[in-house]
A and B are shown apart, each in its own frame.
Chain A
Amino acid sequence: MPEIKEYVDIVGQSVIDELYIFARHLQGKTIQNINSTPVGGGVAEILTRMVPLLRQLEIDARWDVIKGNERFFSITKSMHNALHGAAENISADDLEYFTQVNRENAAEINFVGDIVFVHDPQPIILIERKQELGKKWIWRCHIDFTEPDPNVMSFLKNYIEQYDAAVFSAPSFSRKLAIPQVLISPSIDPLSDKNRELTDHEIETVLNRFNLDRSRPIVTQISRFDYLKDPVGVIQVFKLIKRYADCQLVLAGGGATDDPEGAKVLEEVNAAAADDPDIHVIFLPPSSDIEINALQRASAVVMQKSLKEGFGLTVAEALWKGRPVIASAVGGIPLQITHKYSGILTYSIEGTAYYLKQLLNDPEYAEKLGANGREHIRNNFLITRHIRDYLMLFISLYHDEDMIYLG
């Protein structure tokens, strides 16, 4: 884990100095993060980096994970899909079971935090302990809330409104709620293995391991095998442009312990890719950060053809590496890409194919998009900005006014 001062070379001394200045006002407070998985997916990844950095700022940050069995995670996955607008059949029994598992966890967890920071819907009912324990409670929604299923939303809203504040990743996710809502975009860590600079040798080693040919352009999508990431759609795009460009497609990603659907999606992707040796489907274990880094850096174009997206950190990762990105205009992706300035935003398989062909044929334009994208990420989506936002959020919980003066 890097020292916080190592970020000075990337963001400047004054940015780091100010983190210390603001963090001073939170000394003595314990921030207790709670989510549903220790590995896999964006939330666990951010917490893995964020918690130690907050500690270096002398804030007592902690991280607990709730327990659940296959049935619980199957229900939460259905809820996740329903919140993304998919038609899901979630019965009253399911909701009761979901509640019961939350209550079991609520009884077991030692709530030591002055601020209890609950991430996503899985542990949302822990808020039932608020009345008895007091403390400040925040609910952080990391998922696309644009068109949530009304039944699931109504069920969750009763709990959301018991929190002191709700945090969303994009303006379009906000709803009419009785509590304050805050916009905090997630971030990437430029010093993590997934984003740090790699040597040519490191990149070459990874490409050789996966039998990729560096002399031909590589088009890559990195994401969990999940219907909402539309990996089969990416294969359709690739098949449309293949006749015009001699290139390779890489679909690489892993699973998360709270996502039981992954194996089925992977099977469908393998079937769709079976007849083309230039399509490489790579299932990566959780500790594959350097592999992901190398695949992104070696790519001529990075795609993120999601149907729904909480934020889409893989877009920020690729942009930070100066890679041209074509991504769907969903969730938090438009915050990261300004169309034709720092990347390409698309709405369909045909549109994605059109732009992919254009970028493969005009590498100079593609490089310019990537360079602009990198600057945008440096200014707005690195972990240092994310830490500052969290410090502001924690401080604001203890004040009612909109101009807060700290001595």
Chain B
Amino acid sequence: MTPPFHFYTQAHLVCLLGTKAKNAAELTEGIRKIPESSIYYHTHHFLRQHNYLSPEPTNDFAYWVSNLLGRRELGEALASVDIIRFKTLEELRAEFIKKLEKYNGRKGPVCEVPEGHEFHFMSCVTVVTPTNYQATNIPEFLEAMKNISVNSLYYHIFEARMRLANGANDFAIWLKNIGLEKPARLISQFDPYTITLEGLRERIIEIVGKYA
């Protein structure tokens, strides 16, 4: 008996931590102290907020450093952090700190933003609930994939892999469990951070559609 795939959806409540940074050193200290949910928020929220833009904007740390602090080289280093390589948020936090510390160790004047342009640390509360969609076979899976919201897609791809530390996205895990190793592998191979959510939907349907 094939275990059914239950589609969930999620929504975020954005929380303000009341702390801010005006230079790279304060950003580093902030990243060191903020909760994991804040690391997650600043490296993922752009995926949902700008899901119609491609290429998508980068993570918040890189955006602020490049566009407000005006440190393009550091901004590029932070933008190039390859989020898909990291399995946990703590590993991701350590990578950002490593890049920032390398920059902070250099000699030269300290660059600061004027008042009003500081980096504001935020986090998020995620509320998850089941949808009416479930699949016991590939045709049902494909039908649901066409109709679920981008929030549901986001949950099973991003929340599952990074925040719930499942190691892979939920779709790949389910496909593997029902014996479809190849599409499972193909889906877990592509980098979802470089594709819009609608692009992801199309690609998953295309891959799984071959096994309908």
Number of A-B contacts (CB under 8 A): 96
Q: How far is the CB of B89 from chain A (nearest CB, A)?
A: 12
Task: Return the CB mask of B101-138 against A: 1 if under 8 Å, else 0.
Answer: 00000000000000010101011111111110000000
Q: B51–A404 contact, CB under 8 A?
A: no
Q: B13–A182 contact, CB under 8 A?
A: yes
When the two chains form the complex, which single residue of A18, A393, A406 contacts B151, counting CB atoms closer than 8 Å? Answer: A18
Task: Return the CB mask of A395-407 against B: 1 if under 8 Å, else 0.
Answer: 1100101111111
Q: Is B176 an interface residue (CB 8 A)?
A: no
Q: How far is the CB of A312 from chain B (nearest CB, A)?
A: 15
Q: Is A201 an interface residue (CB 8 A)?
A: no
Total count of chain A residues near the partner, CB < 8 A: 39
When the two chains form the complex, which single residue of B15, B50, B128 contacts A406, counting CB atoms closer than 8 Å? Answer: B128
Q: A22–B116 contact, CB under 8 A?
A: no
Q: For the complex, what is the distance from the CA of A391 to the CA of B130, rounded to whole Å?
A: 16
Q: How far is the CB of A327 from chain B (nearest CB, A)?
A: 15
Q: For the complex, what is the distance from the CA of A405 to the CA of B164, rounded to whole Å?
A: 12
Q: For the complex, what is the distance from the CA of A100 to the CA of B130, rounded to whole Å?
A: 48
Q: B129–A22 contact, CB under 8 A?
A: yes
Stretch in contact with the other chain, from A109-117, A171-179, A254-262, A286-294: A171-179
Residues on B with beta carbons closer than 8 Å to the beta carbon of A375: 52
Assuming the contacts A392-B13, A396-B13, asked whether A21 and B131 have C-beta atoms less than 8 A apart, the reply is yes
Q: A389–B13 contact, CB under 8 A?
A: yes
Residues on B with beta carbons closer than 8 Å to the beta carbon of A389: 13-14
Assuming the contacts A17-B149, A406-B129, asked whether A379 and B11 have C-beta atoms less than 8 A apart, the reply is no
Q: B128–A404 contact, CB under 8 A?
A: yes
Tell me the nearest residue of chain A to B149, going by C-beta: A14
When the two chains form the complex, which single residue of B35, B49, B149 contacts A18, counting CB atoms closer than 8 Å? Answer: B149
Assuming the contacts A146-B116, A379-B51, asked whether A404 and B126 have C-beta atoms less than 8 A apart, the reply is yes
Q: B18–A181 contact, CB under 8 A?
A: yes
Residues on B with beta carbons closer than 8 Å to the beta carbon of A18: 9, 11, 131, 149, 151
Tell me the nearest residue of chain A to B35, going by C-beta: A402
Main secondary structure of the interface of B (DSSP, over half): strand
Residues on B with beta carbons closer than 8 Å to the beta carbon of A150: none
When the two chains form the complex, which single residue of B50, B52, B147 contacts A14, counting CB atoms closer than 8 Å? Answer: B147
Tell me the nearest residue of chain A to B120, going by C-beta: A171
Q: A183–B15 contact, CB under 8 A?
A: yes
Q: A403–B126 contact, CB under 8 A?
A: yes
Tell me the nearest residue of chain B to A183, going by C-beta: B14
Residues on A with beta carbons closer than 8 Å to the beta carbon of B35: 402
Q: For the complex, what is the distance from the CA of A172 to the CA of B116, rounded to whole Å?
A: 7
Q: A168–B128 contact, CB under 8 A?
A: no
Q: How far is the CB of A289 from chain B (nearest CB, A)?
A: 29
Tell me the nearest residue of chain A to B151, going by C-beta: A18
Q: How far is the CB of B144 from chain A (nearest CB, A)?
A: 11
Residues on B with beta carbons closer than 8 Å to the beta carbon of A181: 15-18
Q: How far is the CB of A27 from chain B (nearest CB, A)?
A: 13
Residues on B with beta carbons closer than 8 Å to the beta carbon of A14: 147-152
Residues on A with beta carbons closer than 8 Å to the beta carbon of B149: 12, 14-15, 17-18
Q: Is A280 an interface residue (CB 8 A)?
A: no
Residues on A with beta carbons closer than 8 Å to the beta carbon of B147: 14
Residues on B with beta carbons closer than 8 Å to the beta carbon of A172: 116, 118, 120
Q: For the complex, what is the distance from the CA of A391 to the CA of B18, rounded to whole Å?
A: 23
Residues on A with beta carbons closer than 8 Å to the beta carbon of B163: 403
Tell me the nearest residue of chain A to B14, going by C-beta: A183
Q: A402–B9 contact, CB under 8 A?
A: no
Task: Return the CB mask of A362-396 against B: 1 if under 8 Å, else 0.
Answer: 00000000000001000110000000110111011
Q: Is B37 an interface residue (CB 8 A)?
A: yes
Residues on B with beta carbons closer than 8 Å to the beta carbon of A401: 125
Residues on A with beta carbons closer than 8 Å to the beta carbon of B151: 14, 18
Q: A395–B9 contact, CB under 8 A?
A: no
Q: B127–A171 contact, CB under 8 A?
A: no
Give the interface of A toward B (CB within 8 A): 12, 14-15, 17-18, 21-22, 25, 146, 168, 171-172, 174-177, 180-184, 375, 379-380, 388-389, 391-393, 395-396, 399, 401-407
16 contacts between A and B (CB under 8 A): A12-B149, A18-B131, A174-B16, A177-B18, A182-B16, A379-B51, A379-B52, A380-B49, A388-B11, A389-B14, A396-B13, A396-B127, A402-B124, A402-B126, A404-B127, A406-B129
In the A-B complex, the 4 residue pairs with the closest CB atoms:
A14-B149, A174-B16, A171-B120, A392-B13
